[in-house]
Chains A and B, each alone.
Chain A
Amino acid sequence: MSPDLPTSRPPDFPSFRPTVLPSYRLVVAAIVLAALLYVGFRGAGKVPPVGPLLDPARGIWALARSAELPARSHGRIAGLSAGVDVLYDDRGVPHIFAASEADAWRAQGYVVARDRLFQMELQTRAASGTLSELLGPRAVEADRADRRRGFPWAAERGMVALDSGSLIARAATAYAEGVNAWIDAMGPADLPLEYRLLRARPARWHPIDTFYLFLQMAYTLAWDDETLAKLQARALVGSAAADALFPRNSPIQEPIQPNGQTAPRYDFVALPPPGPPDSVALVASRDRAELDLALGWSPRRPGDGDAIGSNNWVVGPRRTAAGYALLAGDPHLELSLPSVWYELHLHVAGGPDVAGVTFPGSPGVIIGFNRQVAWSFTNTGADVRDYYQETVDDEAHPARYRLDGAWKPLETRVEVVHGPRGVVLATDTVRFTHRGPLARVGGRWLSMRWTPFEAARPGEDFLRLDRAGSVTEWLDGWKEYVAAAQNGVAADRSGAIAIRSTGKYPVRPGGRGDLLQDGSTSAADWSGFLPLAQYPYARDPAQGYLASANQQPVDPRANPQYFGVNWYSPWRALRINRLLRADSAVTPAAMRGFQTDPKSERAAAFVPLFLAAARADSSLQPAAALLAEWDRGYTRENRGAVLFEAAMSELAGLVWDELLPREELADTAARPAAIPEDAVLLELAADSGSVWWDDHRTAAVERRDQLLAQALRRGLARVLREHGPLDGSGWRWENAHHANLFHLLRIPGLSALELPVQGGTSTLSPSPGRGTHGPSWRMVVELGPEVRAWAIYPGGQSGNPVSARYLDRLPRWLAGTLDTLLFPSRPEELPAGRVRARLSLSRER
């Protein structure tokens, strides 16, 4: 095996020792190489393809190269009419200076894709029913639900009907050009981490994707219309009681449209006792539950509180310290990483000059301000969805449905769900009546009508708001807005303030939208929409301010029109109105303070009831003492909030035992299928002898105070069990409750979890339930001679988890501080020391 050394061996290789590899080493090398190549190209089990992942030139390590924006860079976008300058400030906010609106939208598409490409694609796919193409079979059911819900049907119909010359068509097209220009320009290091983990490449962006985005947002904001809750309640306690538990009008009136009162009005009445179960409703409620399931609708979960809600308010010059109008807004949405929002400034020569936040995928600014006007939105929560029981020609495979005595053809679509490599994962036939998607539920065929499907130009209204020069123009700019209905507030530099709950509100023949309709007659169809004059609205009111926090928008005594039922309890509305009434010289700093105010009106209402109930029980005195000294605040170190929330949670389960499904009565851990709002619970508390206080699972007949004491006792036991002794350090709100910002793919390593946070259920800075929702953007704007603005959102501008801009805002958001926003009218106005990067965009050659 070892021949003699050659005599001519070069001196450079002293250890030269000719040999031939033994066979077994060849075999081992071949096996190892084959295995490495296989794992490298294909991965193994849960291990992704290792080769492209670890590759230092193009793999994950390359992300370090694209983590931060280069100081100077250049990009090309086909169709630009002139060059566009983009200056990124030290907060990572792009200031886009363009010669035309279309160029600004192109540049916007480019810069947003540069920072948030994966998020854009993921949320669009979540609406178009194509998640499986990216995520594989695990997303099949979500995709099928999207398609059954009619999203692709509606978006495609909208695109076909869209006037190509319309503002939104031009904007969405320009935006798509910008996004695709970035996709084309991406280098190996620019491919976002998520695509690498999923072994995918970015899809091209199309104008319809912007429509999908707005459908997805409408879906997010489409709270359950409470038909299900009410049906379930009717099934158990009869109609009269159900109507009282899930009332059309809030028992506490502090409406968005001022009603001339200087304090909230409590319209409490005695709740009717539980009636006999309604067997018809029982069937209907089961159908409705199945329908929600069939259409992929997620009813508001009991216990979530006002997880998806928002605050906004404006203060007129008479009540501000500086004499300028002030505006504050903080939409409460899912707290994701990256954030649902992207902040930017669009400056168009001779056109809009607007800053604020937008959804990645949407042209223009959604919430923000320009040189004259500032605005923000809260969700109205209007009932804009109805269900119809249809008569079809064939129960198994219907082709026609009955309307006014005649058969009408059903529109059908064959929906094919594909996997990542084009493999067919599911095929469904989805049918539509003239109202919307049709689904078979419990042996019946039900169709659904929903206002977002009827938006001819979704997103266009926001582009008009960007151009508004006054509150009047702002109000005019979105008078045709369809969905999801929003309570929009605005203020301008002249000192005008206004609020309007805007969106298409269906006019139903019965006046109510919370009942299953008869689909066999067109008389059951919506006869139109409420005229603009009927919308809840106020401008420059005598009280000097306006506020909304998802409460019932208008006092039914002032406007009896049907907008919805079972409104969120108005705790946040009560709090902000209290704060604004008490301050006649509001400052921007005070506005910021209000946004993170830790006090709870809900606690203020219920704590005295607990204290009164605990008086007779000596074992509850430590708990009562703690609640008595509690300031009703949800600050991080607070102990009272820990006990109060535990007691309130127990109370709901104890009081509403009548709403437990009969088969779950024996289960002590069972929760009612539908839980009335806490405002109704407070209404009940006014009647200490009501039969609703009796826990039917016990032999005794309980009254209010007994049940409250029992809830406090159970709450105390729970907290002691979970957090240790009363005088220990475990009893801190920050230990009991956390904010959780999940990465879009729910990857813990890319998420920010278990964050100590100030605020709880129904505080102005809410953090209810699992802490996954909360203030997604806090903004304060002063409309003085020069518009000044402050804002923050959790997370950062970059969607790249290895970027310093991925989480850089989080500490300030947690601390409740706001960043001062830069709003230069020329590139030169941006202080040189605060410019972090420059991007020049030019026409493609």
Chain B
Amino acid sequence: MSADKILVALLSLAGMAFTYWFFLMKKDEVVMVSDAVDIIVEGGYSPSAISIPIGKTTKISFLRKDPSSCLEEVVLSEFKIRRYLPLNKKVTIEVTPKKEGTFPFSCGMNMFHGKIIVK
């Protein structure tokens, strides 16, 4: 095998390993929320993992800064909420979790994900 082919083989493998590490080994930093939290919607959700108390109403405000139509809706299926997020306008959703657990939320097309941890 010629040198260039060996180099390309190595680069391909490195690219695959990097992709795996970069996207799939990401650890979410959980933000503790007591009353209210602002989530910035830009290339995903920031913060993407929040911890909220059980039985208490928490205000989650989404502010979409990303024009991608992918992120134009947010779905909190556990709370039966699908809400349109206008660009650069805050949309506040109130949730009162009744049970403990981890509940995912996502964009309307289910490509960007976040989670709500209820404790």
**Same complex:** no
